[in-house]
Structure 1
Amino acid sequence: MSSALLVARRRALVGSRSLASSVRWASSDSKDKYKIVVVGAGSGGLTVANQIYNRFKAAGTPLNEGDIAIVDANEYHYYQPGWTLVGAGLKQKIETREPLKSLIPSHLAHIPEYVQSFAPKSSSITTASGRTISYESLVVATGLKTNWDNITGLPKALADPASGVSSIYSYETCDKVWRDIDALRSGKAIFTQPAGVIKCAGAPQKIMWMAWDRYQKTGRGDQISVDFYTGTPSMFSVKKYAEALNELRIQRGVGGFFSHNLVSVDAANHKATFKKGDGSTVDVDYTLLHVSPPMGPLDVIKNSPLADESGWVSVDKGTLRHTNPEFGNVWALGDCSSLPTSKTAAAITAQAPVLTENLFSVVTTGKDRGVTYDGYTSCPLLTGYGQLMLAEFKYGLEPKESFANYLGDQSKPSRIYYHLKKDLFPWAYWNHMIQGRWFGSHGFLRPKFPPTTNTPK
């Protein structure tokens, strides 16, 4: 099937955008100063830029066209949660991307450049071309960096069609995952997860469970062993779900090797080297190797005045405003931020309304309203075809479940939760979330924030 037909089919499945909500392609803007500049046009940037515009409009103090600028040079916008579905053979990867300029409405200016440096003391940024752009308020939503090169031999292995090595963590490699999984007839399938911060910490085992189920359903389960090697000490960070997943692992005969961090890949000999918690290393033979690479902050953030000691944009974990009072007109959300919660698209749905409300309050009253984010995030954990464990939690790694009272215990795999991940969430994302009209567990209803006492910041 051609790429054009695949895109047409996806749009037909998720519903065409109505004339009222359709976006017109934005043109590049050449102004040097904006009321609000949003750096990054991923899930966080597009969502919050549209929510900010909509918030001012709803309050009767609308911003003019072009008052908000989005700075991002990427040609495409990607629905990254869809790459797991691609790796599992449920979607084609062309369904997970759209031209970025087609998603930016005409009332938002688009500056198709990358940021080279931040100068928060002068409320300005400099782009890669040397252009200086000033702002009254800045929202940073740049995402993070995937460090493929931190694993010796990995880039070369990913580029080799016969290596048996793949990853769902990029558009370029996610379809290789399905080819490798589907082609394997016998041997040893290893799935890895690095220590430290990564995008959607449940994704490394989602694809493992899908592969395991594929092998059972096609009669290959007895010929293929499946093992999980993770740099973390348990299956998941939240105790409730970690226990359920570990029980599932034992029931299914999946090997669990904890505090094992992948450090190198020898594709020619099909060997993976792991560094253990005690500092020693171990070589493991594989037939199929799925790699979740280490990740970290982007250099442009890490080397800027906005960064904390770890390289993330330092923001208050409740208000999402920068922790340095001198940079009180700077905000951040999503993967680039220092927020101590899992980095997922679901987290954006809870962060964006809080950031929007506080920024709106500062701009219109000079005071931070003090609305707070509780750390909500969600990880829809695929455990097989037709089944999913819906992990939802907040700061303190405490469960915060939306559907348990209606649909049952969310730590138990369910077909209903599976279709949320496979069908509802992609539809909501493309048609509503990145237009600023989807609020996660609140659906289409913007959260109502209780009255608070304004405290000058």
Structure 2
Amino acid sequence: MAGVVLRSSLARAPSKVPSLLSRSYATSTPARAHHRVVVVGGGTAGITAAAQLKRTPQLANSDVAILDPAPPGWTLVGSGLKPLDGMKRPLADVVPTGVKHYPLTVSTFEPENNVVKTSEGVNVSYDYLVVAPGLETNFAGVSGLQEALADPTSLVSSIYSHKTVEQVWRNIQGFKKGKAVFTQPAGVIKCAGAPQKILWMALSQWNRNGVRGDIDATFATGAASMFAVPKYSEALERLRRERNVDGLFQHNLVAVDAKNKVATFKNLADNGKEVQREFDFLHVVPPQKPWDWVAKSPLADAAGWVDVDKATTRHNKYANVFSIGDASSLPNSKTAAAITSQAPVLVENLLAIMEGRKPAAAYDGYASCPLLTGHNELMLCEFKYGGVPKETFAGVFGSQDQPMRIFYHLKKDLFPTVYWNSFLKGTWFGPKGWSKPSSLS
């Protein structure tokens, strides 16, 4: 599911908000507002949590609000499988019915006072808070990258920007000969499999075009292996070798010189020694990090994530605060599929707190990465905490470390429909499909 996400025209642009807000909104919104539940974040995690909360009998008639900073990113578009117009919708179209939407930018949290402050001067107080704003994509974290992306002739692109996601596939289709480099940064990113999806789809397209033999491909990653889960990492390493892709491991991209076609990496295994690679085609996944207003808040742990219990999703200090999705400290892969298992746990435990019960629902770390490995094939990586595989279809199709066509069509044809029509409406529960896990019924 990762790569199919929401967009908001007001995302992280506080200076533009006043001019974009309608006059009626600006005059009708008080300087202070209060809601039973406030959800920070209008991406997949925030919308899903709000939708599931509103579907519970306990909160069906209660006031729930969303404050939205919604970040973007698309892999189906960048790999040529879906048009951009079909993979984005205005945030207002998917906010659950009955949920108040504030198109405002959070500036700080005051959990001691149960208040969220915004850059627009509106303070929103709450009885319960759900923090799910996603990650910040830090294009400025790579020297020269922003300038390279702004030049369509540079053959530098990224699926992590709505401005260049369509350019990715145009570059792939037009590339005939030379050195192609695909990067993945060190640290946490949205959808850890996305950098490889573009690599494998590009190779597949170049095979179709009959030019693969004239292209030298390199996968340069800040990680120590192809994937964090050993079972799938071994399978992907075999693919890398079979498909003649050079691997640069623990090499973190730090600079792009589009004019001279040079990418500079730091070798993390050699005290950060700089390594330069020439390129003719470059796909970049920029570094990502928690938003500063999360990382510097009382809600954050030392690393900048919202500090929650990894099983209950409840904050370790503030009993009325919960967090799921990319901004949380939950130690698993940052994927939309993970949210399908996180959200029901959050909802059950939040309701338990409301009713004076002890939170009993537990999240086991389930995440999924539908990893495209070429046209008509996909490796469906499913796992839980500890890198332990948790495969939904192994009993039917066998071990899921083998790319399969059936999984490709699930990703391309079924998952987008499920996302818009069920996932965001609070009626999809990941491996359980439309059946709510029995332990949470």
What is the CA deviation profile of residues 131-151 of structure 1, one whole-angstrom value per residue up to 9, with x for unaligned ones? 111100000011011111110
In structure 2, what is the equivalent of residue 189 of structure 1?
A: 180
What is the CA deviation profile of residues 328-361 of structure 1, one whole-angstrom value per residue up to 9, with x for unaligned ones? 0000000000000000000000000000000011
Kindly indicate whether the alpha-carbon contact (under 8 Å) linking 1:29 and 1:110 is maintained by their aligned counterparts in 2.
no
Amino acid at match of 1:329: N
Amino acid at match of 1:180: N
What is the CA deviation profile of residues 372-398 of structure 1, one whole-angstrom value per residue up to 9, with x for unaligned ones? 100000001100000000000000011
Amino acid at match of 1:223: D
Q: 1:222 to 1:73 in 2, by over 3 A?
A: closer
In structure 2, what is the equivalent of residue 41 of structure 1?
A: 42
Amino acid at match of 2:36: K
In structure 1, what is the equivalent of residue 304 of structure 2?
A: 311
In structure 2, what is the equivalent of residue 380 of structure 1?
A: 370
Return the match for 2:277 from 264, 284, 290.
284
Return the match for 1:328 from 319, 322, 326.
319
SS across alignment from 1:449: helix
In structure 2, what is the equivalent of residue 298 of structure 1?
A: 291
Kindly indicate whether the alpha-carbon contact (under 8 Å) linking 2:40 and 2:131 is maintained by their aligned counterparts in 1.
yes
In structure 2, what is the equivalent of residue 210 of structure 1?
A: 201
What are the residue-to-residue correspondences of 1:32-71 with 2, within 5 Å?
Answer: 32-55=33-56, 57=57, 61-64=58-61, 67-71=63-67
Return the match for 1:250 from 241, 244, 264.
241
Kindly indicate whether the alpha-carbon contact (under 8 Å) linking 1:29 and 1:111 is maintained by their aligned counterparts in 2.
no
Q: 1:419 to 1:143 in 2, by over 3 A?
A: same
Kindly indicate whether the alpha-carbon contact (under 8 Å) linking 1:73 and 1:111 is maintained by their aligned counterparts in 2.
no
In structure 1, what is the equivalent of residue 163 of structure 2?
A: 172
Count of aligned pairs: 412
More deviation, 309-318/93-102 = 93-102
Q: TM-score, normalised by structure 1?
A: 0.88
Counterparts of 1:139 and 1:409 in 2: how far apart (Å)?
36
SS across alignment from 2:264: strand
Counterparts of 1:101 and 1:359 in 2: how far apart (Å)?
25
What is the CA deviation profile of residues 237-284 of structure 1, one whole-angstrom value per residue up to 9, with x for unaligned ones? 111101100111111111111111111000001100111121211111
Kindly indicate whether the alpha-carbon contact (under 8 Å) linking 1:47 and 1:436 is maintained by their aligned counterparts in 2.
yes
Q: TM-score, normalised by structure 2?
A: 0.91
Q: CA deviation at 1:105?
A: 3.3
Amino acid at match of 1:87: G
Amino acid at match of 1:142: P
Q: CA deviation at 1:173?
A: 1.4
Counterparts of 1:369 and 1:273 in 2: how far apart (Å)?
48
Amino acid at match of 2:45: G
In structure 2, what is the equivalent of residue 221 of structure 1?
A: 212
What is the CA deviation profile of residues 166-210 of structure 1, one whole-angstrom value per residue up to 9, with x for unaligned ones? 111121211110011111010011100111111111110110000
In structure 2, what is the equivalent of residue 405 of structure 1?
A: 395
Match status 1:108 vs 2:99: yes
Kindly indicate whether the alpha-carbon contact (under 8 Å) linking 2:345 and 2:440 is maintained by their aligned counterparts in 1.
no
Kindly indicate whether the alpha-carbon contact (under 8 Å) linking 1:374 and 1:395 is maintained by their aligned counterparts in 2.
yes
Counterparts of 2:191 and 2:97 in 1: how far apart (Å)?
32
Kindly indicate whether the alpha-carbon contact (under 8 Å) linking 2:52 and 2:343 is maintained by their aligned counterparts in 1.
yes
Structure 1: which 5+ residue stretches go unaligned? 1-26, 452-457
In structure 2, what is the equivalent of residue 15 of structure 1?
A: none
Amino acid at match of 2:55: N
Return the match for 1:356 from 344, 347, 364.
347
Counterparts of 1:226 and 1:450 in 2: how far apart (Å)?
47
Amino acid at match of 1:295: Q
Counterparts of 2:194 and 2:286 in 1: how far apart (Å)?
12
List structure 1 runs of 4+ shifted beyond 2 angstroms.
Answer: 27-31, 61-65
Counterparts of 1:107 and 1:305 in 2: how far apart (Å)?
30
Structure 2: which 5+ residue stretches go unaligned? 1-24
Q: CA deviation at 1:63?
A: 3.7
SS across alignment from 1:46: helix
Counterparts of 2:283 and 2:440 in 1: how far apart (Å)?
46
Counterparts of 1:86 and 1:429 in 2: how far apart (Å)?
15
Kindly indicate whether the alpha-carbon contact (under 8 Å) linking 2:115 and 2:125 is maintained by their aligned counterparts in 1.
yes
Return the match for 2:121 from 110, 130, 137.
130
In structure 2, what is the equivalent of residue 367 of structure 1?
A: 357
Q: CA deviation at 1:368?
A: 2.7
